[in-house]
């Protein structure tokens, strides 16, 4: 049987359900497009309790993390939340994750649900014999994302901290409806917003999570996995298992900015040095089609034949067109024209640099946000 989050009873009563990463999760409540636009124009809420949440603390935790990720850890200030990745010895991406630095030797790691068990084994397998310890908090906490330009207004009445003081990629211990929590100004939609971990709720005693969700639902639209995927695709954010995986390196994935060039050795660092010198044979690019909806696995072609494969594709409610992510030759510059084979026929497309929307109008950088 699929696993359930602490909010499963609410979802089952109100949403179309689907299985994802071993969990029974909401696919949509109304429609994917309606929920998508609620986030772009107002605020929406997502149950992301299926994602893995690991505590890392104890003497040597910072030094240990320095050896596990390509991003400089010691330089991060307490209260910082940063995007990084776990790499294998070949420089491939085991997973991408968010790390919140809670204190001098204390961290909270949020990883993809489908990779949680693998990541935990990878992390524990390299722990020092004494000091730093990793604990899985997933089943004893709930996690909700509040996303959109009105996310702050929706969340503020329910917490004891001033959210206006919590800047982008910052995190803070807080209370929500009296419950212990961690609030981070992060997300997976391209919009301003927050991800809130509420400590304590379990499947056997979920009421604190349910209360929080229901209060949020009074001012924000409940959203399912369909909108979560269309929003992240429109923002050009990769999905592990589709757009990035253990055979993909950060240079191919256009994620080399997470690599701190002046740090010491870490898992995969020798391979990363070699890959940087070689340069990528293919790079992640965005595509916009004039007609048709591209899907995972569709071929990208030009006059010479196949030049790539769609890794993620779908419909953009903002552009009202099909959009996709694909790996193409580094010579495929922005503006290049390509075709995508959709149901046996070639549909014309153009190479673009994500996000797929006007950042003055949508997304966390929009002029009205000021974040």
Q: What is the 3-state secondary structure (H, E, C) of 248-267?
A: CCCCCCCCHHHCCCCCCCCC
Please report the pLDDT score of residue 331 as a whole number: 86
- The mean per-residue pLDDT over the stretch 313-318 comes to 98
Please report the pLDDT score of residue 367 as a whole number: 83
Nearest to 60 by CA among 152, 117, 130: 130
Could you say which of 103, 136, 169 is where a domain stops? Answer: 136
Q: Quick one: 202 and 319 in the same domain?
A: no
How far apart CA 106 and CA 78 sit, in angstroms, is 9
Question: Which residues, 6 or more positions from 172, have their beta carbon under 8 angstroms from its beta carbon?
Answer: 79, 161, 166, 182, 183, 184
What string of H, E and C letters represents the secondary structure of 39-60? HHHCCEEEECCCCEEEEEECCC
- Total number of domains in the chain: 3
Percent of the chain with pLDDT over 70: 99
Could you say which of 114, 136, 158 is where a domain stops? Answer: 136
How far apart CA 5 and CA 272 sit, in angstroms, is 37
Residue 113 above 70 pLDDT?
Answer: yes
Q: Quick one: 287 and 325 in the same domain?
A: yes
Q: Quick one: 87 and 210 in the same domain?
A: no
Question: Does residue 22 fall inside a structural domain?
Answer: yes
pTM beyond 0.95, yes or no: yes
CATH of the domain at 146: 3.30.1360.120
Q: Quick one: 68 and 202 in the same domain?
A: no
How far apart CA 249 and CA 87 sit, in angstroms, is 8
Token code pair at residue 34: 């309606």
How far apart CA 79 and CA 333 sit, in angstroms, is 38
Please report the pLDDT score of residue 370 as a whole number: 45
Token code pair at residue 179: 């419950």
How far apart CA 335 and CA 326 sit, in angstroms, is 15
Please report the pLDDT score of residue 112 as a whole number: 99
CATH of the domain at 67: 3.30.70.1400
How far apart CA 354 and CA 254 sit, in angstroms, is 11
Mean pLDDT across the chain: 97
Please report the pLDDT score of residue 369 as a whole number: 55
Could you say which of 136, 164, 186 is where a domain stops? Answer: 136
Q: Quick one: 176 and 304 in the same domain?
A: no
Q: Quick one: 224 and 147 in the same domain?
A: yes
CB 284 within 8 A of CB 253: yes
How far apart CA 95 and CA 182 sit, in angstroms, is 22
Q: Quick one: 29 and 60 in the same domain?
A: no
Q: How far is residue 240 from each of residues 92, 137, 249, 366, measured CA to CA in Å?
A: 12, 21, 12, 27
Q: Which domain holds residue 64?
A: 53-136
Task: Write out pLDDT tens, residues 59-91.
Answer: 999 999 999 999 999 999 999 999 999 999 999
Q: Quick one: 193 and 73 in the same domain?
A: no
Question: Does residue 368 fall inside a structural domain?
Answer: no
Q: Quick one: 80 and 40 in the same domain?
A: no
Please report the pLDDT score of residue 371 as a whole number: 45
Nearest to 258 by CA among 93, 148, 12, 62: 93
Nearest to 320 by CA among 288, 296, 352, 349: 288
CB 320 within 8 A of CB 357: no
135 pLDDT band, cuts 50/70/90, is very high
Q: Quick one: 37 and 150 in the same domain?
A: yes
Q: Quick one: 37 and 182 in the same domain?
A: yes
206 pLDDT band, cuts 50/70/90, is very high
How far apart CA 76 and CA 101 sit, in angstroms, is 7
Q: Quick one: 20 and 127 in the same domain?
A: no
CATH of the domain at 289: 2.40.30.110
């Amino acid at each position: 049987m699929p696993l359930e989050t602490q909010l499963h009873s609410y979802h089952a009563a109100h949403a179309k359900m689907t299985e994802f990463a071993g969990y029974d999760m909401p696919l949509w409540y109304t429609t994917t497009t309606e929920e998508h636009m609620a986030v772009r124009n107002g605020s929406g809420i997502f149950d992301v309790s299926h994602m893995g949440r690991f505590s890392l603390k104890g003497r040597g935790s910072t030094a240990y993390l320095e050896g596990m990720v390509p991003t400089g850890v010691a330089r991060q200030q307490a209260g910082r939340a940063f995007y990084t990745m776990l790499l294998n010895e070949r420089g491939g991406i085991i997973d991408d994750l968010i790390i919140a630095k809670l204190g001098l030797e204390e961290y909270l790691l949020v990883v993809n649900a489908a990779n949680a068990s693998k990541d935990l084994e990878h992390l524990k397998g390299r722990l020092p014999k004494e000091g730093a310890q990793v604990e899985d908090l997933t089943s004893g906490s709930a996690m909700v994302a509040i996303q959109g330009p009105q996310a702050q207004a929706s969340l503020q009445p329910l917490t004891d901290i001033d959210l206006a003081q919590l800047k982008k990629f910052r995190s803070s211990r807080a209370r929500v409806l009296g419950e212990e929590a961690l609030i981070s100004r992060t997300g997976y939609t391209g919009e301003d917003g927050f991800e809130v971990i509420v400590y304590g709720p379990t499947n056997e005693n979920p009421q604190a999570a349910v209360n929080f969700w229901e209060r949020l639902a009074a001012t924000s639209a409940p959203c399912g996995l369909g909108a979560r995927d269309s929003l992240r695709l429109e923002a050009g954010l990769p999905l592990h298992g589709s757009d990035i995986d253990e055979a993909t390196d950060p240079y191919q994935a256009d994620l080399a900015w997470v690599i701190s060039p002046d740090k010491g050795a870490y898992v995969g660092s020798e391979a990363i040095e070699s890959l940087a010198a070689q340069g990528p044979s293919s790079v992640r690019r965005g595509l916009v089609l004039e007609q048709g909806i591209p899907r995972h696995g569709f071929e990208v072609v030009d006059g010479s034949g196949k030049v790539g494969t769609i890794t993620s594709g779908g419909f953009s409610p903002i552009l009202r067109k099909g959009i996709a992510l694909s790996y193409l030759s580094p010579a495929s510059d922005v503006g290049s024209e390509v075709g995508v084979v959709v149901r046996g026929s070639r549909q014309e497309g153009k190479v673009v640099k994500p996000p797929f929307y006007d950042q003055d109008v949508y997304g966390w950088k929009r002029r009205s946000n000021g974040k």
